[in-house]
Structure 1
């Protein structure tokens, strides 16, 4: 299986970003600066919870 990685449109030019890939039953996340070091795989529900928490932390000032 070929994994199609996508970089955030909010990524900066210094490589400070993550990349995501949709897998058959999960979402994969990796560091764009070190793509060969592996990736984190989350179930869709866990990924949604992660996004909700990140949005909460950024809007509430952590």
Structure 2
């Protein structure tokens, strides 16, 4: 996956984020998803292929308490 241009994407805060400052934002980019810390939007982001991000979400869903 090539590096996406993150300056033009629309970032969305996780619906699981709360007001204690531990927030994650994601953006859909060609071929995958980018994620960043909402407290430090200029601090960089991680880019994942769609398959890798899907695997991550499946693992988290299996381990998170409801």
* TM-score tier (shorter): 0.7 to 0.9
Report matched runs for 1:13-28 at 5 Å.
Answer: 13-28=19-34
Q: 1:52 aligns with which of 34, 51, 58?
A: 58
TM-score, length basis structure 2: 0.79
Deviations 1:11-53 (A, max 9, x none): 1112211000000112000011111111010000000000011
Question: TM-score by structure 1 length?
Answer: 0.84
Which has more helix, going by share of residues? Answer: 1
Unaligned residue ranges in structure 2 (runs of 5+): none
RMSD: 1.3
Consecutive unaligned residues of structure 1, counting only runs of 5 or more, are none
